[in-house]
Amino acid sequence: MHVIACIKQTIDLQQIRIKRDTREAVLEGAPFLFGNMDKNALEEAVRLKEKHGARVTVLSVGAAKLKAGILEALAIGADEACIVMDPACENSDTTSSALTLAEAVRKIGAFDIILVGEGSADNYSGQIPSRLAERLNVPLITYVRELSIESNVVTAVRDMETALEVVRAKTPLVISVTSEINKPRLAPLTQILRASRKPLNAWTLKDLGIDAAKIGSTASAIQVVSNRAPEQERKGVIIEAAADEAVEKLVNALRKEGALP
């Protein structure tokens, strides 16, 4: 069984500062991390390895900082890493990222399951699983919180709004996971050194036969007009007082707003 876990590095969202005048986010200098649900996808792949002896390839698209980060994924248990690093990928939108991932998957070769997080930590657009499955023309099971596999049949529990849906499909397929599926392990210290000895394939877009002009901001199907923190319309009244007095102030304020009878 061959499992590919697709993970994405984004800047650490806790470290974002907002410029007071323009309300734009300051991204320079913020460290890069893999998203939480990306880690869930990787963890599930490693569990399939432990349970069924699957071979795990971790795949990621990004820019220069990826090389150091991917060692963490290898230390967690992936057998091999494939990374696509290209300056054009830095501003790639979901359409381009899905194309790049699909071509990388084709280069990697036959697979049984592609695991991916339900959404990335930064934009959470959730388009990658949809677009990747369509591009590869394989079935897609989204929002999976429980997964089991027997020979080439996957049984999954999907987490929909009002119901849990138990579904079955044949491999090869794409699966997107929710954060409930598992608790991702940390990279064991002993494995971190060994990780650098595992196979690491670094590709450019050219290696995948993709014209760099088709990727990146100019080719993007989306034009970002602005990206700013919302204007603070909250009142920001902070009440610091003994509980009795604080409650009195709060209730009076809420009554004035008509929020309490």
Footprint of other proteins on 85-114 (CB under 8 A): 93-95, 98
> Among residues 168 and 194, whose Cβ is nearest to other proteins?
168
Centroid of chain to Cα 132? 14
62 scored as a contact of other proteins (CB under 8 A): no
Tell me the closest approach of the beta carbon of residue 106 to other proteins, in angstroms. Answer: 16
Contact map string, positions 175 to 194, toward other proteins, x by CB under 8 A: ---xxx--------------
Give the dihedral sign, CA 98/101/105/111: negative
225 scored as a contact of other proteins (CB under 8 A): yes
39 scored as a contact of other proteins (CB under 8 A): no
> Among residues 202 and 260, whose Cβ is nearest to other proteins?
260
Tell me the closest approach of the beta carbon of residue 8 to other proteins, in angstroms. Answer: 13
212 scored as a contact of other proteins (CB under 8 A): no
- Residue whose tokens read 């991932």: 101
CA distance 73 to 3: 14
Q: Rule CB under 8 A: choose which of 22, 123, 152, 196 binds other proteins.
A: 123
3-state secondary structure of 250: helix
204 scored as a contact of other proteins (CB under 8 A): no
Q: Rule CB under 8 A: choose which of 139, 192, 204, 207 binds other proteins.
A: 139
What's the DSSP call for residue 236? Answer: -
> Among residues 21 and 244, whose Cβ is nearest to other proteins?
244
- Residue whose tokens read 């698209």: 61
CB 59 within 8 A of CB 41: no
Nearest to 180 by CA among 141, 144, 128, 142: 144
CB 44 within 8 A of CB 56: no
